[in-house]
Structure formats: structure tokens, C-alpha cells
Amino acid sequence: MKNSKQQHSRLNILLEFFGSMNLAITILVAIAIASVIGTVLQQNQPYNDYIIKFGPFWHEVFKELGLYNIYGAMWFLILLVFLVLSTGVCIYRNTPTMLRDMKQYRLNAREKSLRLMHHSRQWQAEASEKTILPQLQNFLSNNGYRSRVKDHGDHSVIAAMKGTWNRAGYIFTHLGIIVLCIGAFLDGTFSLTIKEWTGRLVPETRDIRADQVPDTARIKPDESFAFRGSISLPEGTATNIVFLNIRDGYLVQELPFTIELKDFRIEHYASGQPKSFESDIVIRDDQLEKPLEATISVNHPLIYRGYAMYQASFGDGGSQLKLKAWPFYSRKLQSLDIDVRVLGKRSIKTPAGEYTLEVDNFKMFNIFPRSEEEQKKTGHKYINYGPSFTFKLRDSAGVAKEYHNYMLPVTQKGRRYFLSGMRAAVSEPFRYLHIPADKNDSIQRFMRFHAMLQDRPRIRKIAEESVRTAMQGMDNVNDKMQQDVVTSMMNLLALFNKGGYVAIDADIKHKVPKERRVNVATAYVKILQNLMQNVFLTMLHDEGIDTSKGVSDEDSFFFEDAISALAGIGAYGAPMYLQLSDFKHRESSGIQITRHPGTTIFYLGCLMLIVGIFMMFYISYQRLWFVVKEEDGKLKLLFAGSANRNPRDFDASFKEMADKVEAFTTGKLTDHSQDR
């Protein structure tokens, strides 16, 4: 017996704890704060993104707190469970009382208690009890009250009430919270969290093909609850899987059907921004008599078997590129043809060693705003630089630099250039090498000039000829002096070919005293420019151009631009220039696939919550009582009432009803001094 009482006492303590308002408010505040964090902080991103954003220390702190996947964190699941328990206990404890309260008219209310109510009035009626009771019930019915009458022998009581749905509002609100939590559980990633926690699911972190992903990182169609994943589907391909990003890894979600992309279309604004894009897809499923064809676009998804397919993004789907590799630091004018696919890799052997070419992206259009001056001249606000591709060159040590090359020459300040951007890290902006184009919009003339500068035997002959011509007629000049000048010119050119003016400046700082560096640098530049001018004149002669009357402005500008480009090759960091010569564009559609089996339940919970709150706050639960009693041959009438909402409105309503009842039961207006 004693153990039974102790168990009953412990049960009451637990019910009191879970049913307390303080616990419910605390849990709701914690969930609200967590939801705000989950909204502000982008969830399920690669860990490297978080490290860059927050630093190593705070990254580890936030990681341990589970802030990168709040809605799938175990502590968030525990909060939801406690909220369901707390709300369920409140319903268990209070619902029976409220249901009884909605049905009970309290016909046994005592006259003394009614007289002490805030809203009560008493007067003497001029009618019999038998006559007045039906009149009072009819009055209550006309005012929207349901009433009951009970004869207590020496007096009769009429009890009435309306707005009983106010009590149901409490039940609807609390049930709505529970239904919401159930919907959130079904639509959340808690099932994945539990599987991870038990070791049945392990995210894959390796960059491998989908068919190589082990079963521990795969989710069968009948094993999944809710998920949100994305696929990049090139035109003409199909898939039956979706990749789910999980922190620093991923999972493969299998689908019960196959999605095929037939065609992808995109329209652009004049600024180059995408205006609209849509995909024609085909669903192939054993449950279908014939394949289902549909078009999806932004805000117009396809929903099939509970799976929603949204048009989310677009990109390159593996365009085929034809490249020409022009080697640097080679005396031979010879290019290498390379075929490669976007997102593909290829090894390239160069004099500087073996490199790996990794093509990352291809863009069909590169549209930029024109300057105000160009807009006035052309009448066009934007200019299209044409196709471009982005790639990495990775050396044998694994160090890579990223490049961005345009296919067509670009006009800048009236001159035409092949642009090639380079950066050593993603966080850096591209620094562009401007290679001048010839009159045929070709890069060959520049590469021919570059190759001549690498031909040391020929350059030496040109240097000897220029020195002999410059020193002709000078006194005290011998062959040794001429050869020394030639050697100096060749050494300067070798430094320039290696690292441009930066290499020459470094050599001067290393060998020349500080006070003589300016003069030496000026002399070096004059000697070097003289040599390269002679080389350029030789190239023009080879092209059949008569330079006896001077060089044209067009050729002079080309020479200046070529020297600037040659000076930047050392910092360019690549043993070759990759020129895009042709391509076969292939687009890819980014499709987001989601499954939310708890959506209907979630919406039902929202509806119940809204209806319940409306009932609680906008429906007033009101009770009225009439006590009819004969004393000393006179009929006395007591009118009392109460309401749980809008006391000011009920004050006015009660006074108005009391005035009307008193008027028709007495036949005249009386003094209201007894109003309490």
C-alpha cells in the first residue's frame, strides 16, 4: 500500500513537472532561438566554408553544438520530444475538466455565491414564477445563450452559457502544437540523425562515382522519410539518385523512378542575367503505362508520387572543347591540339614537366556594361565578350593555379587583346594577361615574336649586327668590346624572358650598389628595348613589310603591347597559353528534389493552432444565472453573470441585458443602485 502511494506521488510529481507552464515556455523559447539560428546560419554547408567564415576555433565550437544541422541535431529532437510530452500532459490533465465545463450548466449554483459576483443585480418582479420562467428562457435564447432550468423547491435556477468553443480553443491549440511537432519530425532529418547515431548510416567523404558509394552511405526509397537534395543533369542523360549534402560528406538517396532531361532552355536579359529557364523532363517508372513528360520551371515544379522536382539552377553539362596549347619559352612556333570535356581532366607533357589540365566551367556569354562614352558611341549599354572557359593547371607537386581565358579577342581602348586571367587562390581576384591580337584577330603574330626571342643563335646574330652598326665609326672599339656588349644584351634578354622587368630589377639590386641602380636600370632598359626593336623589325621584314620608311602606328602599338605581355609571362605561372578554338556546348539543369511526407500533417497542425488561438482570444466564454424565488408573497429575481474575455464589453452587455429583463419583468424602469 505504501509503495503504491509512493508510485502515485512520483507520477504526480512527473505530471506536475511536464505539465508546468514554465517548462513549456522554456522549451518554446529554446526552439524559437534555435530556429532563428537555423534560419540565419546556412545549414549543411561544407566544413571548409564554415572554417573560412568563422575560423578554426569557433568552427569547432559550432560544430560540437550542432549548429550546422540544427534541425537534425539530437538536442533539437529532444526539445521537440519534451514539448510534445509537456503539451500532451497539459491536454491529459485539463481536457476532461474543460469538456465537463462545456456540458455542465451549474444549476446548483448557490444564491449567496451568485450575489457576490462582480456582475449581479436583484429586483422584485411583478409576475408569477410560472409565467416568468419561460419568458427568461426565451430572452436568453434570443441573445444566443443555451439554458437549462432546475426547480430546487423553494426557488428555481436558470443557468445559461454561450461561447463554449472558447474552451475547445485550448484543446485545439495544444493538439495543434503536437500535430505540428509530428509533422516537423516526419519532414525533418531526424531519421537520418538516428541512423547516424546508431552507426547504420555513414556519410561518404571521398570523390567517387555514385555506383561506387557503399551501402552505408545509400538510402533506399522505402527507407527515406523527408529529404532535400539536388542533381545536375546534362541534356540527354538520366538518373535515379539524388545527392544529399551532409556536413563534410554526402549521402546517395535512391529514387523509385528515373528522371531524364530531354531539353534545357534559358533566356537572358540584355545585361546577361538569366531571365527564365526551364527543363523538359521525362519520368520513367514501372508503375506508369507510358513515360510521363513534363516541363518544370522556376516556381512551377512537378510533383510525382510525393516527390517534388523544382527547377533550381543551371550550368555546364560537359561541353566538348577544342584547345590549342601555345608553348612558352620555345623557339618553335608550334601549337598542340587538345580535346577535353568540361569537368574533365587530361595530362599534358611540357618542357617544364607534366601538368594536369582540369576544366572547371564554360560560359557561352560574358556580358559586361559599357562605359558611358562607349554607350554614346555605340548606342548599346552592354557588350558581349563571347565564350570563355575556366580551368586549372596542376603541376607534378599538386600545386594548381586557376585560369580564365576568353575565346575571342576583346577590344579595350581601341586595341584588341586575348585576355587570360590567373589566380593562385579562390579568394584572390583574377589578374589578366593582355596578349595583343594581330590584324586577323589571331594570336600567331605574338607567338611568332615570342618564339623569335627564344631563338638564341638568331638573336645573337641580330644583337651582333645592331652593335656593329651602333659602334661603327667609334674610336678605340675592338671585337672584344663588341662581344661584351652583345653578351650583356643576351643576358638581359634571358632575364627578361624568364621574369620580365621584375627579374632585371632583382638582378640589379643584387649586383649594383644602391646609388648606381637608377642609372644602370635606365641603361639596361634602353639596351633591352633596342635589341627587341631590332628583333621586331626582323620579324616585320620576314612578313614582307617594308620598314625603310618607318613602322606604322598599328605595328608600333602591337610592339608596345607585346612587350607588356612578355613582361607578364613570368608571373603568369604557366608553361603554355591555352586558346579555345572550337566547342560543342552542352547545358545542364540543376534540379532540386524534395520529399515531405509530413507536409499535410504540418499544415493540419497549423490550421488547428490558428483555429484554437482564434477561439481562445476572440470567443468569450460567458455564463448567466437567474434565481427566481418567492418570499413573503413577492417574487424576487437575481441576475448574475461572468465572462473570461473582454470584461469591458461584458460590462456593457450585462447592464443592457439586466435593464431589458428588469423592464419586462417589472413593467417599468427601476433604480440601478444595486448594481455591483
- pLDDT, one tens digit per residue, over 592-636 is 999 988 888 989 999 999 999 999 888 899 999 999 998 877 889
Nearest to 16 by CA among 99, 93, 78, 95: 93
Element (H, E) at 676: none
What's the confidence (pLDDT) of residue 472?
A: 67
> pLDDT tens for residues 528-539?
888 999 999 999
Q: Measure the CA angle with vertex 602, ends 596 and 603; round to 5°.
A: 110
Whether 110 has a pLDDT exceeding 70, the answer reads: yes
Whether 279 has a pLDDT exceeding 80, the answer reads: yes
More reliable by pLDDT, 478 or 97: 97
3 band by pLDDT with thresholds 50, 70 and 90: low
The Cα 567–Cα 560 span in angstroms is 11
Q: Measure the CA angle with vertex 426, ends 423 and 430; round to 5°.
A: 35
Q: What is the DSSP string of 185-226?
A: HHHSSHHHHHHHHTTS---B-S---GGGS-GGGEE-GGG---
> pLDDT tens for residues 430-451?
999 999 999 999 999 999 999 9
pLDDT above 70: percentage of residues in the chain: 96
Q: What is the DSSP string of 262-309?
A: EEEEEEE-TTS-EEEEEEEEEEE-TTSSSPEEEEEETTB-EEETTEEE
Whether 420 has a pLDDT exceeding 90, the answer reads: yes
As a whole number, mean pLDDT of residues 418-426 equals: 93
Tell me the three state secondary structure of residue 665. helix
What's the confidence (pLDDT) of residue 676?
A: 39
Q: Which long-range contacts (CB under 8 A, 24 or more apart) does 209-212 make?
A: 210/241, 210/243, 210/252
What's the confidence (pLDDT) of residue 425?
A: 87
Q: Is the dihedral of CA 557, 563, 567, 572 positive or negative?
A: positive
As a whole number, mean pLDDT of residues 545-556 equals: 89
The Cα 417–Cα 420 span in angstroms is 9
More reliable by pLDDT, 10 or 653: 653
The class of domain 109-163+622-666 in CATH terms is: alpha beta
Nearest to 409 by CA among 421, 417, 397: 417
The grid cell for 99 is 469538456
As a whole number, mean pLDDT of residues 362-371 equals: 89
Which sequence spans correspond to the domains of the chain?
2-100+169-187, 109-163+622-666, 192-224+227-315+588-595, 333-437+580-585, 449-578
| Cβ atoms 129, 589 nearer than 8 A | no
Q: Which of 332-336, 479-483, 556-560 is predicted most confidently?
A: 556-560
Residues 31-48 as b/e (b if ≥16 CB within 10 A, e otherwise) read beebeeebeeeebbeeee
> pLDDT tens for residues 178-197?
998 888 888 777 777 778 87
As a whole number, mean pLDDT of residues 13-19 equals: 77
Whether 675 has a pLDDT exceeding 60, the answer reads: no
> pLDDT tens for residues 32-86?
899 899 888 888 777 888 888 888 899 889 888 888 888 878 888 888 888 999 9
Query: Packing angle between helix 165-187 and helix 599-618, nearest 10 degrees?
Result: 160
Q: Output phi, psi for 590, to 5 deg.
A: -90, 110
Instruction: Tell me whether residue 214 is exposed, middle or buried, using C-beta atoms within 10 angstroms of its C-beta: 0 to 12, 13 to 18, 19 or more.
Output: exposed
* Neighbouring-strand partners of residue 228: 594
> pLDDT tens for residues 126-167?
888 888 999 999 999 999 999 999 999 889 999 999 998 888
> pLDDT tens for residues 304-351?
998 999 999 888 889 999 999 999 988 888 889 999 999 899 999 888
Instruction: Tell me whether residue 206 is exposed, middle or buried, using C-beta atoms within 10 angstroms of its C-beta: 0 to 12, 13 to 18, 19 or more.
Output: exposed
Residue 242 CB coordination number (10 Å): 25
The Cα 427–Cα 402 span in angstroms is 11
Residues 635-670 as b/e (b if ≥16 CB within 10 A, e otherwise) read bbbbbbbbbeeeeeebeebbeebbeebbeebeeeee
Average pLDDT in the chain: 88
Tell me the three state secondary structure of residue 631. strand
What's the confidence (pLDDT) of residue 4?
A: 55
